[in-house]
Amino acid sequence: MTEHRDYHGAKMGMWLFLFTEVLLFGGLFVLFSVTFGRFPQEFHEASQLLDVTMGTTNTVVLITSSLFAALAVTALQKGDRRLAEIFIGLTVLLACCFLVIKYFEWTHKFHVGIYPGSAAIADWAPGKQAFFSLYYTMTGLHGLHVVIGMAVFGWVWMQIRVEKCTPEYFVALENAGLYWHLVDLIWIYLFPLYYLIT
């Protein structure tokens, strides 16, 4: 069988997959909006406990990594393999930064006893508890997607090394970039909803 190469087909498949990801998070955004509608005051109070500086830093880090991902695609399209590899490296590095900041944020919260089911928050108002349940679920799932994105970029990097992803057929890198923009996009919704609604 000849190797089947269909650039438009591959892009179409990726876009469909991104739809499913949007819907996956969509279920959680529905939960968020319903719960927020029921407990606006409690969400306001709970939101003040989040660290806006860290959240903002993370937003900048993730948007910048998305820029590098886009630059990597352009570099490969223009035929500069070396530069594309460097940009992919920078993307993954910033993804790491994002996770490290997230780690410090979460461990600090755990340290002061703010996590679902902890004794410290047992007598909080239900709405405030719900805020953190949703916060950990949604940012946790988002964090998982960051990890998956890093793995995908690692795989694409290897594909470029073994010349399966080339300046002539770069759809693997392009699709990885699309995925990364989605991860970025979801964070851009999570950030104001959780950190800035106070």
Partner 1 sequence: MAVDAGFMTPGNRSWVREWLFTIDHKRIGMLYLWSVLAFFTVGVFLGLIIRLELFRPGEDFVGPQAYNAIFTLHGVIMIFLVVIPSIPAAFGNIFLPLQLGAEDVAFPRLNMFSFWLYVIGGGTALVSLFTGGGAPDTGWTFYVPFSAQTTTNVSAAVAGVFILGFSSILTGLNFIVTIHRLRAPGLTWTRLTLFAWSLYATAWIQVLATPILSITVVLIVLERMLGMGIFDPARGGDPILYQHLFWIYSHPAVYIMILPAMGVISDIIPVFCRKSIFGYKTIVGSSLAIAFAGSLVWAHHMFVSGMSDTAVMVFSLLTFIVAVPSAVKVFNWLSTMYKGSIRPEPPLIYALGFIFLFAMGGITGLVLGSAGTDMHVHDTYFVVGHFHYVIFGGTGFGMFAAIHYWFPKMYGRMYDRKQATIAAVLLVIGLNGLYFPMYLLGLAGMPRRYYDYLPQFTELHQYSTYGSWITFAGLALMIYNLIRSRYRGPEAERNPWQAATLEWTLPSPPPTHNFDREPVVTHGPYDFGEVRDHD
Binding region for partner 1 (CB under 8 A): 1, 4, 6, 8-9, 12-13, 16-17, 19-21, 23-28, 30-31, 34-35, 38-39, 42, 116-117, 125-131, 133-134, 136-137, 141
Chain centroid to CA 34: 23
Nearer to partner 1 by Cβ, of 68 and 135: the residue is 135
Query: How many whole angstroms separate alpha carbon 144 and alpha carbon 110?
Result: 19
- Residue 59 CB, nearest approach to partner 1 (Å): 24
Nearer to partner 1 by Cβ, of 51 and 136: the residue is 136
Torsional sign, CA 181, 183, 186, 191: negative
- Residue 158 CB, nearest approach to partner 1 (Å): 16
Nearer to partner 1 by Cβ, of 29 and 90: the residue is 29
Cβ-proximal residues to 61 (8 Å cutoff; 6+ apart), any chain: 94, 97, 98, 101
**DSSP single-letter state for residue 116:** T
- Residue 91 CB, nearest approach to partner 1 (Å): 24
- Residue 49 CB, nearest approach to partner 1 (Å): 15
Q: Report DSSP letters for 48-64, one per residue.
A: TTS-HHHHHHHHHHHHH
Nearer to partner 1 by Cβ, of 22 and 196: the residue is 22
Query: How many whole angstroms separate alpha carbon 160 and alpha carbon 28?
Result: 36
- Residue 198 CB, nearest approach to partner 1 (Å): 18
Query: How many whole angstroms separate alpha carbon 161 and alpha carbon 68?
Result: 19
Nearer to partner 1 by Cβ, of 38 and 78: the residue is 38
